[in-house]
Structure 1
Amino acid sequence: MTSFRISTLALASLIAVSPAAFAQDGTDASTGKRFAVVGGAAILHPDSDPLPGARIDIDGDVAPVISASWYATDNIAVELWGAADKFNHRVRGDAGKIGTVEQQPVALSGQYHFGAPDKVIRPFVGLGYYESNFSSEDIAGGGDHVGLETAKGAMATAGVDFNINQRWFARADARYLKGDSEMRVAGQGTGDELTLDPWVVGVGIGARF
């Protein structure tokens, strides 16, 4: 929860200071540039009650993220986004920590970027599909290995780019990943699904080509 607050404060600070810091360069046109890459960091925080009735909680974690976009027009883009490393989560129950699990999401989405490319502030929204692979599950299960199936589902994105000059920009975004993951014990499906539905809040620096 502490890392979630830190990332939220960093996001708010970036939004607050960026217009003044970048205004002098906002007139540099970016029209015609069709590719962009962004590198940064994000916190992924799953739903606080992933398995109703089981009284467990999965902590959030911070990891590096990267994305690559192709702009069909100045406003419409296709983005491939994913974690460059795994998010490591602590699983807690009423008695405290009961294990850990790692996940690494990847997503493909369509986006609409508002306004002209040379505007200082350009908000955008997106909708797409994601998959998140789980690994290194170490969860107490009465001696049997407890695993999680790959989560799959829709992803919604909202963010804003702050133009620095023709090539460089700063980005802040939030993503909501909607998908369940079946819990497996000793390699067998249990029929129990964890509703993870995480929020992913990130900041980064990007370049256009």
Structure 2
Amino acid sequence: MLLSVTAIPAAAQDWQVARKGDWIVTARMTDVSSSADDAILTSAGADTALKVDVEHDVMPTLGFTYFLTDQISVEAILGATRHQIRAQGGATDVAVHETWVLPPVVTLQYRPMPEARVSPYVGAGVNYMLFFDGKDQNGFQVGLEDGFGYALQAGVDVAVVGPWSVNLDAKKVWFQSDASINAGALQSQVNLDPWVLSVGLARKF
């Protein structure tokens, strides 16, 4: 007696694979956390013994991914986070500014296992940091410089059912902003360099 093994056709799967020409839209909760601890200097360059601290924030974001081929995709994220900036050192810990940040990141992604239910990817790209709706605090006046940075990315899509999947995503962004305090009386080159960590629910279109 001969036994035969027949592969389950893709149409019989309870989940769908994204292919060339498809879109994935992902609703995420995202934690943006900076490790900035740069020195605050006087206008003459003297060290004040104070350093910059930027608090993290968690906000909803959206990701839009388009598949150029089955294995190559491009993603753009949209969302804004709010961060308090503090001056710390010795017995000093004072809030100087609070700002919203719009950090759109665009990455080109490679997916080595596009047909798998658990499909990892890596990516690299650019971002633009835009600071808006800033509020000075405790008598300080703070100016932050917008600009471009770059990013690396790693993540995974886990197919659930039909066009739906769960997404885990990590981005490391490198960006430096020139900060001016009290019309330049104090200054700092702030390496924000945030981690952007997300979990979300995605749908293929």
Name 2:3's counterpart in structure 1: none
CA deviations on 1:17-40 (whole Å, 9 max, x unpaired) are: xxxxxxxx6664444561111111
Q: How does 1:163-174 map to 2 (within 5 A)?
A: 163-174=159-170
Name 1:101's counterpart in structure 2: 99
For structure 1, the 5+ residue unaligned runs are: 1-24
Q: Which has the higher helix share?
A: 1
Name 1:65's counterpart in structure 2: 61
Aligned length: 182
| Distance in 1 between residues matched to 2:74 and 2:203, nearest whole Å | 16
Correspondence for 1:120 among 98, 117, 120 = 117
Q: How does 1:25-104 map to 2 (within 5 A)?
A: 28-31=16-19, 34-51=22-39, 54-83=50-79, 86-92=80-86, 93-94=88-89, 95-99=92-96, 100-104=98-102
CA deviations on 1:32-65 (whole Å, 9 max, x unpaired) are: 5611111111010112414475323111000111
CA RMSD of aligned residues (A): 2.6
| Distance in 2 between residues matched to 1:45 and 1:96, nearest whole Å | 19
Aligned AA (1:176): K
| Distance in 2 between residues matched to 1:175 and 1:29, nearest whole Å | 23
| Distance in 2 between residues matched to 1:189 and 1:26, nearest whole Å | 63
Name 1:130's counterpart in structure 2: 127
Q: Check conservation: 2:55, 2:83, Cα contact below 8 A.
A: yes
Q: Check conservation: 1:26, 1:120, Cα contact below 8 A.
A: no
CA deviations on 1:158-200 (whole Å, 9 max, x unpaired) are: 1111011341111011111101011134666977321100001
Which structure's CA Rg is the greater one?
2
Q: Check conservation: 1:30, 1:166, Cα contact below 8 A.
A: no
Percent identity between the two aligned chains: 24
Name 1:208's counterpart in structure 2: 204
Q: Check conservation: 2:15, 2:159, Cα contact below 8 A.
A: no
Q: Which has the higher strand share?
A: 2
| TM-score with structure 2 setting the length | 0.77
> Is the alpha carbon distance of 1:34 and 1:187 closer, same or farther for their aligned partners in structure 2, counting shifts above 3 Å?
farther
